[in-house]
A and B are shown apart, each in its own frame.
Chain A
Amino acid sequence: MKGNEAIAHAAIRCGCDGYFGYPITPQSEILETLAVEKPWETTGMVVLQAESEVASINMIYGGGGSGKRVMTSSSSPGVALMQEGIAYMAGAEIPGLIVNVQRGGPGLGTIQPSQGDYFQATRGGGNGDYYVLVLAPSSVQEMADFVDLSFELAFKYRIPAMILSDGVVGQVMEKVVLPPFKPRRTEEEILRECPWATTGRKGGRPINVITSLELRPEAMERHNLHLQEKYQQIRENEVRYEELLVDDAEYLIVAFGSAARIAQKAISELRKEGIRVGLLRPITLWPFPTKRIAELSGHMKGMLTFEINAGQMVEDVRLAVEGRTPVTHYGKMGGIVPTPDELIERLKGDFSL
C-alpha cells in the first residue's frame, strides 16, 4: 500500500482516538483512507475534516490537552499554517502527532516531493524556545511503525511529535506489515496516565488548566527552564539513526527519508567501484545524532549531506563535525528528485575520486 494509506491504517490499529485534518496534496489519502475505513464504527476513533489547517491543529491542541491520542496530517504549506498551534502545544506541553508529507516550496510551491521543511521541523517553526520531536521515515513500513512510536514518545514527554515524510514516501507503494492491534485507552486509563488533562474535575481534585500563558516573568522563566530540561532529556535518550557500511568507510553520506533510499543505491554502485562509502541515516531529525556524527567525523576523509533541498540538515552535520573533515551538500529543489547517478557523480567530484 501507499505510505499515506499505511499512516491511516496504523493510526486505527494503534489506539488513536481522533484524526482531524484538511485535504492537501500529496497526503489527502490519509483522510480519504480513514473516511473509507470508518473507524468510528469499530474502534470509536473520531475522524473529522476540519475547515482549515489552523482549525485542525487546534483540534489536536484540544484533544491532546484532554488526554486523548490525536493526530493531524498535512503537507508543507498546511504545516506552515499550523505553526501557531504547534507552538501553543509546545508551551502548554500537549502531546499529539503531526504528519508532514512534504512538497516543494516556498509558498504554494509545487505538489512534487521535497525535504524543504527540515528547518521548520527541527527549529521549532513557531515562536519561542521549543522543539518538536521529529521522526523521518524512509519507507512505507516506517510510515506505519512511526505512528505508534510518535504517540508513545509524545505522551512520555508531553511534547508534540512530528512525522516528517515527503511526497515520495507518501505516494510510493510497498509491502508493509501493519502493527498489531492495540485498543484505545479507557477513560480510567486516561485519567491515570494523564492526571494533568482537562477531563473534568472529578472528585474535587484541583482544576486542570491547559495554557501556554504566564505573565509573571519569574514563573515564565521557570517554565522555560523546565522545557529546556525536558529537551535535554530527549536529546540524551531518544536519538535514533541507522548506519550502513560505516565500519570501513572513508566517506560518509548523511541522508534522511527518501533521500536515504537513493543514497543506498548510490553506495552499492560506488562500492562496486571500490570506493568505500557508508551511510548514516538520522531517524530522529530532532534530537539529531550529533554525537555519532562527531565520532565518525574523525575517521572520514569527507562527508556529503544529501537532501532534497538547498542544504538544511548540512548545517547540523557541520555543527557536529566542527571542521574535522570536509562536509559538502548535494540536493535539488523544485520537486525534482535527484538520481543515484547524479549523487555518485557529485560525491566523486567533491572529493576528487
Chain B
Amino acid sequence: MENIISPENIVYEKPTLLNDADMHYCPGCSHGVVHKLIAEVIEEMGMTEKAVGISPVGCAVFAYKYIDIDWQEAAHGRAPAIASAIKRLWPDRLVFTYQGDGDLACIGTAETIHALNRGENIAIIFINNAIYGMTGGQMAPTTLMGMKTATCPYGRQADLHGYPLKITEIAAQLEGTCYVTRQSVHSVAAIRKAKRAIRQAFENSVNRRGSSLVEIVSTCSSGWKKTPVEANKWMEEHMFDFYHVGDLKNNQD
C-alpha cells in the first residue's frame, strides 16, 4: 500500500482551489462537479490572483465557501450587473457569474439579457435543474411541461403556468454573445466536454471577446425526489429532449 501511494502514481487530484470545507449540496447534485471544474480551470489558466466570481441566491449562494478565490455574493438575479461593473472597472480580471435557473432565467432575466446583449466580457455559468432547489422544490422558469413541483403539484400546464423558458436559445441570438453552449455533467465524457466549455468561456472573458453563457443541464435529486442514479436517468430521458446539449453559438469557429 505504502508503495502505491506515491506522487508518481497519482492519476486524480482535487484542485487545490477547491478547499476542504464540507459542501452543503445534496448527494447526486451537479453543483459539486461544476464547482470542481471551475476550480480546475482557474488553476490551469493560472488566474487565481485575477479571478472574481459572483455567486447567486439559490443553492450556490455559498459557492464562495468552497472555491478559494475572491467572490461577491449577489442579490437574487443581479449577478450579471455586478459582474458587468467589475469587469469594466478591472478589465484584466477573469469575471464570471454562477447562477441557477430561478436566479438567471426568472428574477434576473433583465440583467442576464442586457449584460449578454452589451457584450460584457464576462462568463456566465448557468445551472439548469428545472426546479428551485434551495427553497424546497418549487416551479422554475425552466420546469418542463407536465413536471410536478411543490407549486405545480399536478404538473406544469400551459394555461396555469406558461411554458419553460429556453433562455440559452435567446442568448445565442444576441449580438453581444460570442459563445453560447449547453452541457451536462452526468457522465465522464460529459464532464470533460463541460470543462472544455468552461475553459473557453473563461478565456473569452480574459481575452475580452464578448459574453459567454455555459448552461449546464443539471440534476436535483432532492427536488425531483429521486435517487442520484434515477435523477441522472430522468435527466437523460426528459431534460435532453427539450434542452438539447451542444454549442448554440461559437464565434471562434
Interface assignment of A315: CB less than 8 Å from any CB of chain B: no
Query: What's the interface size class on B, roughly?
Result: 20 to 34
Interface assignment of A340: CB less than 8 Å from any CB of chain B: no
Q: Which of B50, B71, B75, B81 contacts A50 (CB 8 A)?
A: B81
Query: What's the interface size class on A, roughly?
Result: 35 or more
Residues of B within 8 A of A199 (CB): 52, 70, 90
A50 to B50, CA, bound (A): 25
A84 to B111, CA, bound (A): 15
A20 to B87, CA, bound (A): 13
Contact (Cβ within 8 A) A212 B111? no
Residues of A within 8 A of B70 (CB): 198-201, 207-209
Known contacts being A63-B86, A66-B52, A198-B52, is A58 close to B69, with CB within 8 Å? Answer: no
Known contacts being A62-B81, A212-B73, is A201 close to B89, with CB within 8 Å? Answer: no
Known contacts being A52-B110, A199-B90, A209-B64, is A61 close to B72, with CB within 8 Å? Answer: yes
Interface assignment of B221: CB less than 8 Å from any CB of chain A: no
A66 to B89, CA, bound (A): 9
Contact (Cβ within 8 A) B90 A48? no
Residues of B within 8 A of A63 (CB): 85-86, 89
Contact (Cβ within 8 A) B88 A58? no
A209 to B61, CA, bound (A): 12
Residues of A within 8 A of B90 (CB): 66, 68, 199-200
Residues of B within 8 A of A211 (CB): 64, 71-73
CB distance from A80 to the nearest CB of B (A): 15
In the complex, residue of chain A having the shortest beta-carbon distance to the beta carbon of B72:
A210
A-B contact pairs, 24 of them (CB 8 A): A46-B89, A51-B110, A51-B111, A54-B81, A55-B114, A58-B81, A58-B85, A62-B72, A62-B84, A62-B85, A66-B72, A200-B90, A201-B70, A202-B49, A203-B49, A207-B68, A207-B69, A208-B71, A209-B64, A209-B71, A209-B73, A210-B71, A211-B64, A213-B73
B interface residues (Cβ-Cβ under 8 A, vs A): 48-52, 54, 61, 64, 68-75, 78, 81-86, 88-90, 93, 110-111, 114
A interface residues (Cβ-Cβ under 8 A, vs B): 17-18, 20, 46, 48, 50-52, 54-56, 58-63, 65-66, 68, 70, 84-85, 88, 92, 198-203, 207-213
User: Besides the contacts A18-B85, A61-B75, what 5 more A-B pairs have beta carbons closer than 8 Å?
Assistant: A18-B89, A66-B72, A92-B73, A198-B72, A200-B93
Please name the 3 residue pairs, one residue from A and one from B, whose CB atoms are nearest each other, closest first. A62-B82, A211-B73, A59-B85
